Structure 1
Amino acid sequence: MLYMEIKIYADVLFFTNLLMDYALLYISLKIIKRKPHILRLISAATIGAAYGVFAFFVPVLPFAKSGLNIIIASFMVYIAFMPGTFRTFLKYILIFLAVSFSAGGIAFCILYCTALGSWLGAVSSGGIIYVKVPIYKLLFVCVVCYFIMSLFTSVSKKYRRNAEITYDVSVFSGEEKATFKALLDSGNFLTEPKSGIPVMIIRKGVCDFLAENKNPVPIGYKSLSGYGELYGFMPDKTIVNNKEINVFIAISEIKFGDGFDAILPCDFDERIE
């Protein structure tokens, strides 16, 4: 029987896993519609990459390895996503594991069911794949993947309306009340500068009574056309789908799409859990 000697470079293995873990975390963030924090993503991916090197070279019993995988994934999710509640934390772990398993299954299928694995000199140990690719080629592939992902994201935004969710909202201020539909938008990261409270953007004419009995708070924003400023108001109470949330309401003269009169903060679904 012929044996082929394969040299495994720990630095290549670490860097490969670092890039892959970063990509998996980034994709998971896109799925849950959270704003990526680069430093936290890199920190979490570094933990995953270090564990990947350990798992490749150090034999561990299957049962213990499964538990260790979940523990490391939990650390990565907590660092990268900073979930607000335990329920949200569990949801994010499940999403990250689903993305990881899907990507891992696709990678194994491509590498070992085609000639690509042999051509790249792919080796698997402990569930970790090592691909004999020079660092500069790997960087080139990552840059290409980044541009493809960016293109896909920009194209998909045009069709996002079909999957967007609207909520029933009621705003109270004194004796006044307004009821309307609001859209959950992953792009609304506005917060009130001093308190950090998220901002719901509402169409002018829906809650104009807020301007009559509440003090305006300037809220700056940045868009493709430059910098601008909205005026926010803190209502007495805001109810969304029968749950009270704490948000500032900024009145905008921009016309929204059909079927809704306001845009909810990007983390609204997490805040009501």
Structure 2
Amino acid sequence: MQFTECRNNGLLSRMLSKYILIFLSVSDKLLLWCRHIMSHAYKGEGRWNMHYELYIDLLFLENFMMDSLLLLVLNRVLKCKSNWQRIFLGGGLGSGMMCLGIVVGIPGVFQLIFFHGIVSSCMLITGLRIRTKAQFIKAYILLYLCAVFMGGMMTAFRPYLRYISLFYGTAVGTAFLFVKCWKLLRKISGKEQVRCEVTLYWNERKMSVMALMDTGNLLCDPVSGDPVSILDHEFYEKFREQQQKEGSVLRDTEPKMRYIPYQSISGTGVIKIFRIEKMCVSMDGEKWIEKPLIGISEGTISEKQEYQLILNHDYLNI
């Protein structure tokens, strides 16, 4: 009988502990709700007025870390190839502008425009190497998708984290999870395309482009058998015009062009190719290719100008 009574007492104590935890959790949520109500109250007869103290240095550091983390995620997802200095500069600019807006006290709808329009745009343009309008719109949408995803996950885990270091550790883990989920969705939808930055070198000149690694580009030179990568015609002409304005293009430094036949879904034809000195492919490190062949496309290879070069299939496993 004594053993049964002790066991019942233990069960009762566990049940009481459980209900106490539930009560504390509910009371905590009620307290937050009451604070929210009181924060919107104003001075008057029989009314409450709540006062907040804001430490601008802590606010700046917190937003700097979160903005930089968001830019790191977008840089990985969009493959912008931005360096750490630019990412942290963008995070610092976004956090600084937000603190400035709070100190100045921008009213009403102008606050919404300033924080979500001007600050976000300046942060993206500064922190990421965005070159086109379409890429900016995509980055802007993904910025808020990632922020909502991270905010929801961190809010869910916040009651279980007693130390602020664990809170920010959860933010880093959530950012990593967002990148993995994005890649998985892209793979499931069949839209995963490997893009990277490529730098072309010839005759003491350098051209940096965004490249698409395409399994369908099997073009090879019939004479040497070397693979041929396709460069956008309009981008190449704009580069030449810029070089001419700077006075760096001479007749004897122009690449020697020749024609080779090609076959595609749309039909057959000939394409101009030339050989350059070297090519650097920046993907999981720098990979150098000596004396590759480059072909000039007849038209635009990307309607949205998301890439300017189509790498040959043979370069996928370099």
TM-score range, shorter chain: 0.5 to 0.7
Q: How does 1:1-273 map to 2 (within 5 A)?
A: 7-69=53-115, 70-100=117-147, 102=148, 106=152, 110=155, 116=159, 137-138=164-165, 141-142=167-168, 145-146=171-172, 149-150=175-176, 153=179, 161-165=187-191, 184-186=193-195, 188-193=196-201, 194-201=206-213, 206-209=218-221, 212=224, 214-215=274-275, 217-221=277-281, 229=289, 231-237=291-297, 240=301, 246-247=308-309, 249-250=311-312, 252=314
Give the conservation status (yes or no) of the 8 Å contact 2:56–2:99: yes
| TM-score, normalised relative to structure 1 | 0.57
User: Which SS does the other structure have where 1:206 is aligned?
Assistant: coil
Change (3 A) 1:83 1:115: closer
User: Which SS does the other structure have where 1:196 is aligned?
Assistant: strand
CA distance in 2, matches of 1:104, 1:152: 8
Give the conservation status (yes or no) of the 8 Å contact 2:215–2:313: yes
Q: Which runs of 5+ in 2 are unaligned?
A: 1-46, 225-257, 259-273
RCO comparison, higher one (Cα < 8 Å, 6+): 1
CA distance in 2, matches of 1:253, 1:204: 12
Give the conservation status (yes or no) of the 8 Å contact 2:212–2:311: yes
CA drift at 1:17: 0.7
| TM-score, normalised relative to structure 2 | 0.51
CA distance in 1, matches of 2:140, 2:99: 22
Give the conservation status (yes or no) of the 8 Å contact 2:219–2:312: no
CA drift at 1:18: 0.5
Alignment size in residue pairs: 217
Aligned partner of 1:26: which letter?
L
Change (3 A) 1:8 1:205: closer
Structure 1 or 2, whichever has the larger Rg, is: 2
Q: Render the CA deviation track for 1:63-118: whole Å, top value 9, x for unaligned.
A: 11112121111211211224323444344334334444x258638x938xx9849x
CA drift at 1:210: 6.7
Give the conservation status (yes or no) of the 8 Å contact 2:217–2:312: no
Give the conservation status (yes or no) of the 8 Å contact 1:21–1:45: yes
Change (3 A) 1:192 1:85: same
CA drift at 1:248: 6.6
Aligned partner of 2:295: which letter?
P
CA drift at 1:49: 1.3
Give the conservation status (yes or no) of the 8 Å contact 1:231–1:251: no
Aligned twin of 2:33: none
Q: Render the CA deviation track for 1:234-272: whole Å, top value 9, x for unaligned.
A: 21316547799743745626569xxxxxxxxxxxxxxxx
Q: Which runs of 5+ in 1 are unaligned?
A: 121-132, 166-182, 257-273
User: Which SS does the other structure have where 1:195 is aligned?
Assistant: strand
Q: Larger deviation: 244-253 or 211-220?
A: 244-253
Give the conservation status (yes or no) of the 8 Å contact 1:233–1:248: no
Give the conservation status (yes or no) of the 8 Å contact 1:199–1:249: yes
Q: Render the CA deviation track for 1:37-76: whole Å, top value 9, x for unaligned.
A: 3222211211221233234444331111112121111211
Q: Larger deviation: 209-218 or 247-256?
A: 247-256
CA distance in 2, matches of 1:241, 1:5: 55
CA drift at 1:15: 0.4
Change (3 A) 1:160 1:38: same
CA distance in 2, matches of 1:225, 1:86: 28
Q: Percent identity?
A: 13
CA distance in 1, matches of 2:285, 2:71: 30
CA drift at 1:14: 0.9
